[in-house]
Structure 1
Amino acid sequence: MKLTIKAKIQISKPAKQVFDAIIDPEKMSNYFIERGSGKMETGESVIWNFPEFPDDCPIKVKEIKPDNFISFSWDNGNVETLVSIKLDEVRGGTVVTVVEDGMENDEKGIQWLKGNTEGWANFLACLKGYLEYGINLRKGAFDFMKQ
């Protein structure tokens, strides 16, 4: 049985604004990545760079539905996992749901589950902080991880 991560938060902004903040690397650099090679578009590949990790992070964009859905795959220790981000407009904002799956239920998979669950919860909190309050919660938060 494959393991699945699910994280969810409500952001007090319209789905279009949340969507744009996720697909645009210039906006993402205010809360998640240091830089990205381009906007996420269906069928395209982009590179993300994180300030605390030395290696490039290749992203294969699977599907984009404007203001509603984003999916991509990326490498997690030689295993490609699939990330889906769903945006549901509700009264008072947008519920953002992140689901990632593809790892086996073994020791490596359990370590992935712990780390990436924490990572997606952090992503959502940082996205909320950026969109609602204009702050970058990630800045300096992971300096202790730099080699």
Structure 2
Amino acid sequence: MELKFKVTGRVARPVAEVFEAVVNPQQLSRYFTTGGAKGRLATGAVVYWSFHDFPGEFPVEVAEVEENKRIVFQWAAHEGAPSDGDAGAASAGYNTTVTMEFEALEDGRTLVTISEEGWRETPKALRASYGNCHGWTQMLCALKAFLEHGINLREGMYK
């Protein structure tokens, strides 16, 4: 069984505004990367994301950015949570691929689709994929709340 997932959400903002909120590290740090983001997402760039709920600075290797359409990046697979108390919280030694797609809808909203794939077919990797699916769903909810209402859903959640 291939381990992969896809989550979607609609944000009541134009595609350019939604896209900018993801590629811009200052904006991303205001609603998603609770420990901050360093570097703008651009083709060929390596940027760094930090999260209070998953300690450490994570390199994000950007493979492709198509303005207002698509972002593709790789980052280290992590096959455990820090609370597991094992080496699974560290990189599992391989990368997964995340693809974000942005589609302008006729009513002025933006459909955001995030997929991730590339985990090994192991029980730990399966659990990790569920965790990342949860994380990307939460990111979409936080993005929507931030852009539509100026609310940071993640503020104070993990510290």
TM-score normalised by the chain length of structure 2: 0.86
CA distance in 2, matches of 1:91, 1:30: 28
1:89 to 2:90 alignment: no
What does the per-residue CA deviation read over 1:125-144, in whole Å, with 9 as the maximum and x for residues that have no partner? 0000001001100111223x
1:6 to 2:21 alignment: no
- Per-residue deviation at 1:105? 2.6
3-state SS of paired residue (1:75): strand
What is the letter of the counterpart of residue 7 of structure 1? V
1:99 to 2:115 alignment: yes
Percent of residue pairs bearing the same amino acid type = 34
3-state SS of paired residue (2:72): strand
- Per-residue deviation at 1:54? 2.6
Moved over 2 A (4+): 51-54
What are the ranges of 5 or more consecutive residues in structure 2 without an aligned counterpart? 79-91
- The aligned runs of 1:43-58 (5 Å cut-off) are 43-58=44-59
- The aligned runs of 1:57-68 (5 Å cut-off) are 57-68=58-69
Residue pair 1:11, 1:132 contacting (<8 A) in 2 also: yes
The alignment yields a C-alpha RMSD, in angstroms, of: 1.1
- Per-residue deviation at 1:49? 1.3
- Per-residue deviation at 1:113? 2.0
What does the per-residue CA deviation read over 1:78-128, in whole Å, with 9 as the maximum and x for residues that have no partner? 220000000011123000000000012320121012111111110000000
The number of residues matched between the two structures is 143
- Per-residue deviation at 1:31? 0.7
3-state SS of paired residue (1:29): helix
CA distance in 1, matches of 2:125, 2:2: 9
